Amino acid sequence: MLVAPRVVVAAFALLAVSNAMPQGVVTQRILSLTAARTIAEAALAECTSRGFRTSVAVVDRSGNLLVVLRHELAHPATLEMARSKAYTAVVFRGSTAEFQAATANDPARLPQRDVPGILALGGGVPLYSAGEIIGAVASSGSNQTTDDECAKAGAAKGASLLE
Amino acid sequence: MLVAPRVVVAAFALLAVSNAMPQGVVTQRILSLTAARTIAEAALAECTSRGFRTSVAVVDRSGNLLVVLRHELAHPATLEMARSKAYTAVVFRGSTAEFQAATANDPARLPQRDVPGILALGGGVPLYSAGEIIGAVASSGSNQTTDDECAKAGAAKGASLLE
Amino acid sequence: MLVAPRVVVAAFALLAVSNAMPQGVVTQRILSLTAARTIAEAALAECTSRGFRTSVAVVDRSGNLLVVLRHELAHPATLEMARSKAYTAVVFRGSTAEFQAATANDPARLPQRDVPGILALGGGVPLYSAGEIIGAVASSGSNQTTDDECAKAGAAKGASLLE
Amino acid sequence: MLVAPRVVVAAFALLAVSNAMPQGVVTQRILSLTAARTIAEAALAECTSRGFRTSVAVVDRSGNLLVVLRHELAHPATLEMARSKAYTAVVFRGSTAEFQAATANDPARLPQRDVPGILALGGGVPLYSAGEIIGAVASSGSNQTTDDECAKAGAAKGASLLE
Amino acid sequence: MLVAPRVVVAAFALLAVSNAMPQGVVTQRILSLTAARTIAEAALAECTSRGFRTSVAVVDRSGNLLVVLRHELAHPATLEMARSKAYTAVVFRGSTAEFQAATANDPARLPQRDVPGILALGGGVPLYSAGEIIGAVASSGSNQTTDDECAKAGAAKGASLLE
Amino acid sequence: MLVAPRVVVAAFALLAVSNAMPQGVVTQRILSLTAARTIAEAALAECTSRGFRTSVAVVDRSGNLLVVLRHELAHPATLEMARSKAYTAVVFRGSTAEFQAATANDPARLPQRDVPGILALGGGVPLYSAGEIIGAVASSGSNQTTDDECAKAGAAKGASLLE
Amino acid sequence: MLVAPRVVVAAFALLAVSNAMPQGVVTQRILSLTAARTIAEAALAECTSRGFRTSVAVVDRSGNLLVVLRHELAHPATLEMARSKAYTAVVFRGSTAEFQAATANDPARLPQRDVPGILALGGGVPLYSAGEIIGAVASSGSNQTTDDECAKAGAAKGASLLE
Amino acid sequence: MLVAPRVVVAAFALLAVSNAMPQGVVTQRILSLTAARTIAEAALAECTSRGFRTSVAVVDRSGNLLVVLRHELAHPATLEMARSKAYTAVVFRGSTAEFQAATANDPARLPQRDVPGILALGGGVPLYSAGEIIGAVASSGSNQTTDDECAKAGAAKGASLLE
């Protein structure tokens, strides 16, 4: 579900005033590479410290890659899985673990898994700034519980940079 | 270069008078861009008025796009979802909400979801003219119930133009 | 299709009056399967009579297949080539032999060959009804000169059905 | 250019006499275009006689198209569905109605539906010659029961040509 | 070539100060749907006024569609061409007419035409706000010179909304 | 699940010492073509001896093909299925029969079947060297139980070459 | 394939008599796996003896793979190139070195390189039986001259099995 | 050209002796993530220091991604271009600037640009260890000369880690 948070609207209104934006343009917060790299490295380090060889991906709010890191002994498919999980977290606005549960339990949502590029495997989590989702981080190559925790470790590391 | 043959003009004039169709040709009603635009805007306005940032798509009877409108803060994936829902409504000749229910409840119809381009998510509805389906409108980016209502609002707005 | 709209508008206006068309709908002539089959068989027969084993394809005005016939000893790739040639004839509104020459001689048109689904090989010709292109027929599997002649033989056979 | 080697002729003549196959070659029965066309037309006629506008496809033993016929008012997606059903009947060696039932009832076979190009919808039936599957015919555009019967009508029509 | 204009850098510096952005986030101007619609309609109207039936596409700075409008008698391929032209204008940061000339005349740039999604046909122009490219508009279905002029008419109409 | 076996770590440590590897490089055991060919032929022979016409594929640790053998009367789709099964065995680190069972019984793992290139059909088994998976062999074209046994016959034949 | 049909018809008629073929079926010579394997190994051995690490592919008359062998240190892309070369040799009925020269020198044939799956690189050669092309062998991974010679060595080795 | 350097053969011989490798296994040097990250960051830093916003990609010897870094204001297409350049450098064993020149000047090599995934734009350079190519680094988003220099700066930084 893609709800319109009221706070954001207010924020944009203010922004529009203070910067004298032209009428046909709005401004948007986007995730910097610097933050994305910090987040990716923290996610990877968490998995490495637990003995896993994984891939990590960070995407921007459109779902496009900013950073990918793959351990040399992690299968290339883990990189594509990480990318898909991060994309899923951005498109369906929540962690992929939540998306998996929600789509498994609701027949009306199950076909969301058929949208191209979507992957209902735990390990992807959204990244927030001022209440908005501005990207996502995902881990792949361990197991879904651990991948979720690694991604959350990455997101936690990045939180102070984004708020 | 795709130039405009002058002969056509005269031919159409004649056609209008006689309507004597050659043996190997049939005529078909098709949805105009003007109507498609009206329908798309009404569908989008309905969702906007409820606080959602959505994408809307209108396709012709072959399932080809005529109009797409995406709110600048709706994810690009919502546009592709709207397109797929509209295509589904045309191919399986009914709303995608109905298609979802029908395929969920009938194991013989479930594999219809595997046809390329099909998406079993509510929010797509067919457009009728003289009892025929001549296109479809779909909304994506709110939730399935709302998307269905937005698409229906679009179709309702267009009904007087099509009948 | 790119016709001079002013007079056409008049024609359509007449049409709209005589048929009482709703405002948001226009009518379109489309190629019937019966005519398409006649055309395909004539094109194939022409190539067969010259000693070639070929594939023939007929598409409608959107470029979608109506008929395909492939000789059992013609390579399956000839079928895909025939399909692409017919599609090209519809999209660029002329024979593929003409398209080949035009794009080879004009650097500004050369990139038209990069449009997905386009193939600049002779053997595809448009089908006209009342001055409009309503489809195309294409042959593949002999040589380009012969394929062009086979397709034209098909189109000639169909002409009386379409005018 | 795809020229016609004269040598072939003599070779075939010899072949007919001796049939002494070289060690590295085997012979295979393949479906002729003539038979495929007869089968396709019978399948289409059956559906037409029941009031449906359908597409029909006939493929060879490799699953490559020999014939396609689409009613001008049948959606282009029906053609692709017919093609996929015929392909499925050849690959999994039985009617698609049987394939649907078998894969629905056996969890070990369910993932066969995930093979690219496969479609578990009724309407495709294999074509036999001397006990071997040498192709398939499929119908799409009515409903699965009727499509299955139309395809079977096509196969029945062709049986005398293939045995 | 994707140069970093100095003015923009200064602008971002100012912006960062006045809004107290978190360290890992930058702000970005994005094209609104409202402006995109105005631009698309102006581009389409220009082509219509000259007697052409065309498609128009407007994309955001990532190259994702915001608006598509296709005349009901323009071939669906024109829509995909418009989309590709707009994408090309954003990726290679200039009009597609310029891109065509630059890549034709410089062997080192010619392979840029091989990048997926790129189309070197005139008719796509970038949209600027405060010196930055924030999207593009493209027309397809007339001829390249006219399509370029139609797109420019759209961009001109939008200029006051974006600066 | 992609765990890091302790033995391997020790082995790498030793290797690093004895060969004085540069800091940024690690060494990896890879399957030779010679071994892959022996394994493929044994797998094929097992199926042939049981009266089946099958395809066999052997992939390296990245999932790239080293050997394919297809019986001339096995459908080309069996080759693609064998390839996908071998790829699946490498990516999910176990036989595809086990993968099928594991994903069928665990809703959290079911979406692993949606990863591109994955096929949950029995007949693929991993190949080990010194405790590491260095490739996989797969059979397709008989039935899943037999395909699994043929692949295992291949792997067994290769074991002495890999340990 | 484009042979002069009249005499062939006679040949087939004879064949039909001697084998009592049903009317709707023709017979076709196809390449056996045994021969394909011999050919592939000879092609690979030739390249190996010259110090190259290559991939070799053998396809049947439809262009479908029968055998692939890739040296473990040859890049996976060489396998796909070998596959494409062999496919090209079958579709355009000659060696890929000849195809390269013919398409480079004839503007009318140049667009044949745009057919999907075609690759105009030397190293693919057709395989003949009784004057017919029944498959192709291709090498990739050395240089085009050598690849052509390796493929020819393979074809030469197989000749006695096919005639 | 993919030649077999004699030095490598000697190296492998030694390696095989000292580690008592099983007969069916060979060892291979692969690029570590640690080195890949160092190389990627150096390449990006070089471009940043010159005022460009770019993407950088590092791939392993199979052409699979190890690291991607994209500046938040570089277009997502630059990431895909960097990936393709790095892949090209590995497959055709040299810098993409050299590949561009070589394919432009030799009609026999020009079709190498048609291999899927290949991109003939400067900015990709191979990474060597002990005379072998074990990966590649590529930059995209500035201009081809600068991208080439950025990639070389990355490779230079990594050299001490790889030799």
Residue range D73-130, pLDDT digits in tens: 999 999 999 999 999 999 999 999 999 999 999 999 999 999 999 999 999 999 999 9
Partner residue opposite H116 with nearest CB, options G72, G74, G80: G80
Q: What is the band of F21 on the pLDDT scale with cuts at 50, 70, 90? A: confident
| C132 inside 8 A of chain B by CB | yes
Average pLDDT over residues B100-112: 97
Mind telling me how many Å the CA of B72 is from chain C's nearest CA? Answer: 28
Chain B 50-69, residues with CB within 8 Å of chain D CB atoms? 61-63
Average pLDDT over residues G68-97: 98
Q: Number of C:D CB contacts under 8 A?
A: 56
pLDDT of residue A21: 85
Between chain A and chain D, are at least 3 CB pairs below 8 A?
Answer: no
Nearest partner of E82 among E31, E110, E49, E44, judged by Cα = E44
Sheet with B65-70, strands from edge to edge, namely B124-129, B132-140, B55-60, B65-70, E65-70, E55-60, E132-140, E124-129
pLDDT of residue H21: 85
pLDDT of residue C1: 27
| G134 inside 8 A of chain D by CB | yes
Top-confidence residue, B125 or G13: B125
Mean pLDDT of the residues in chain B:
90
Average pLDDT over residues A26-40: 97
Partner residue opposite A28 with nearest CB, options E30, E158, E162: E30
Q: Which two tokens stand for residue E131?
A: 């010196």
CA nearest E25 in H: which residue? Answer: H72
pLDDT of residue F2: 34
Q: What is the band of C14 on the pLDDT scale with cuts at 50, 70, 90? A: very low
Best mutation site among B91, B92, B103, B113 for testing chain D: the one with the most D CBs within 10 Å? B91
Contacts of A59 in chain E (CB under 8 A): none
Parallel, antiparallel or unpaired: strands D65-70 and C65-70: antiparallel
Mind telling me how many Å the CA of H12 is from chain E's nearest CA? Answer: 38
- Taking only the tens place, the pLDDT of each residue in E83-122 is 999 999 999 999 999 999 999 999 999 999 999 999 999 9
Nearest partner of C16 among E142, B34, B125, judged by Cα = B34
Nearest partner of H42 among H162, H121, H163, H149, judged by Cα = H149
pLDDT of residue G6: 32
Q: Is the pLDDT of residue E155 over 70?
A: yes
Average pLDDT over residues G5-34: 66
Q: What is the band of F19 on the pLDDT scale with cuts at 50, 70, 90? A: low
Report the percentage of chain C scoring pLDDT > 70: 88
CA nearest B135 in D: which residue? Answer: D75
Nearest partner of H124 among H71, H74, H54, H76, judged by Cα = H54
Name subunits touching G (3+ CB pairs < 8 A). Answer: C, D, F, H
Q: Number of A:H CB contacts under 8 A?
A: 49
Distance CA G138, CA G51 (A): 17
Q: What is the band of F13 on the pLDDT scale with cuts at 50, 70, 90? A: very low
Average pLDDT over residues E69-79: 98
Q: Number of C:G CB contacts under 8 A?
A: 48
Contacts of G24 in chain D (CB under 8 A): 31-32, 34-35, 38, 129, 158, 161-162
Count of other CB atoms within 10 angstroms of residue H41: 18
Mind telling me how many Å the CA of G57 is from chain F's nearest CA? Answer: 9
CA nearest B24 in D: which residue? Answer: D72
pLDDT of residue E16: 42
Partner residue opposite E37 with nearest CB, options B33, B69, B79: B69
CB G112 within 8 A of CB C121: yes
- Taking only the tens place, the pLDDT of each residue in C54-108 is 999 999 999 999 999 999 999 999 999 999 999 999 999 999 999 999 999 999 9
C-alpha dist (Å) from residue D118 to B115, D83, D86, D111, G69: 9, 10, 9, 11, 28
Q: Which residue has the tokens 């706000």?
A: E129
CB contact (8 A) between residue A25 and residue E161: yes
Q: What's the burial of A108, exposed, middle or buried (CB within 10 Å: 0-12/13-18/19+)?
A: middle
Mind telling me how many Å the CA of C7 is from chain D's nearest CA? Answer: 29
Q: Could you give the count of Cα atoms lying within 13 Å of C125 in the half-sphere of its Cβ? A: 23
CA nearest H62 in A: which residue? Answer: A76
Q: What one-character DSSP code corresponds to residue C25?
A: E
Q: Phi and psi at residue H84, in whole multiples of 5°?
A: -65, -40
Show the DSSP H helices in E3-69 as ranges: 6-19, 33-49
pLDDT of residue F97: 98
- Taking only the tens place, the pLDDT of each residue in A41-77 is 999 999 999 999 999 999 999 999 999 999 999 999 9
CA nearest C52 in D: which residue? Answer: D4
Contacts of F148 in chain D (CB under 8 A): none
CB contact (8 A) between residue G33 and residue F72: yes
Q: What one-character DSSP code corresponds to residue G11?
A: H
Q: Is the pLDDT of residue B137 over 70?
A: yes
Distance CA E140, CA E122 (A): 9
CA nearest A56 in H: which residue? Answer: H67
Contacts of D111 in chain F (CB under 8 A): 100, 113, 119-121
CB contact (8 A) between residue F79 and residue G69: no
Q: Could you give the count of Cα atoms lying within 13 Å of E160 in the half-sphere of its Cβ? A: 3
pLDDT of residue H31: 98
Mind telling me how many Å the CA of A129 is from chain E's nearest CA? Answer: 8
CB D27 within 8 A of CB D21: yes
Average pLDDT over residues E18-47: 92
Overall residue count recorded for chain B in this entry? 163
- Taking only the tens place, the pLDDT of each residue in F132-144 is 999 999 999 999 9
Q: Is the pLDDT of residue A12 over 90?
A: no
Q: What is the band of A19 on the pLDDT scale with cuts at 50, 70, 90? A: low
| A87 inside 8 A of chain H by CB | no
pLDDT of residue H99: 98
C-alpha dist (Å) from residue E16 to A29, A66, C79, D102, H28: 11, 21, 59, 63, 49
Contacts of A36 in chain E (CB under 8 A): 24
CB contact (8 A) between residue D25 and residue G29: yes
Between chain H and chain A, are at least 3 CB pairs below 8 A?
Answer: yes
Residues 6+ apart with CB under 8 A from H6: none
Distance CA E28, CA A12 (A): 12
Mind telling me how many Å the CA of B104 is from chain C's nearest CA? Answer: 30
Contacts of G7 in chain D (CB under 8 A): 9, 12-13
| Partners of residue E125 on adjacent β-strands | E137
Q: Is the pLDDT of residue E13 over 50?
A: no
Chain H 2-21, residues with CB within 8 Å of chain F CB atoms? 15, 18-19, 21
Lowest mean pLDDT across A4-8, A135-139, B32-36: A4-8
Q: Is the pLDDT of residue B116 over 70?
A: yes
Q: Is the pLDDT of residue D156 over 50?
A: yes
Residue ranges of chain H whose pLDDT lies below 70? 1-19
Overall residue count recorded for chain C in this entry? 163
Nearest partner of E96 among E56, E148, E47, judged by Cα = E148
Q: What's the burial of B121, exposed, middle or buried (CB within 10 Å: 0-12/13-18/19+)?
A: buried
Q: What is the band of G128 on the pLDDT scale with cuts at 50, 70, 90? A: very high
CA nearest F61 in A: which residue? Answer: A75
Between chain F and chain D, are at least 3 CB pairs below 8 A?
Answer: yes
Nearest partner of C123 among C89, C88, C96, judged by Cα = C96
CB contact (8 A) between residue C76 and residue D70: no
C-alpha dist (Å) from residue A41 to A47, A57, E7, G107, H34: 10, 10, 33, 53, 11
Q: Is the pLDDT of residue D8 over 60?
A: no
Q: Which two tokens stand for residue C101?
A: 């020459």
pLDDT of residue D20: 72
Count of other CB atoms within 10 angstroms of residue F109: 17
Distance CA B90, CA D128 (A): 36
- Taking only the tens place, the pLDDT of each residue in F26-84 is 999 999 999 999 999 999 999 999 999 999 999 999 999 999 999 999 999 999 999 99
Distance CA D8, CA C148 (A): 26
CB contact (8 A) between residue D114 and residue F122: no
Nearest partner of D99 among B107, G122, C59, B120, judged by Cα = B107
Best mutation site among H1, H2, H26, H90 for testing chain G: the one with the most G CBs within 10 Å? H2
Show the DSSP H helices in H23-143 as ranges: 33-49, 76-91, 96-105
CA nearest H158 in F: which residue? Answer: F24
Q: Is the pLDDT of residue A97 over 70?
A: yes
Q: Is the pLDDT of residue B7 over 90?
A: no
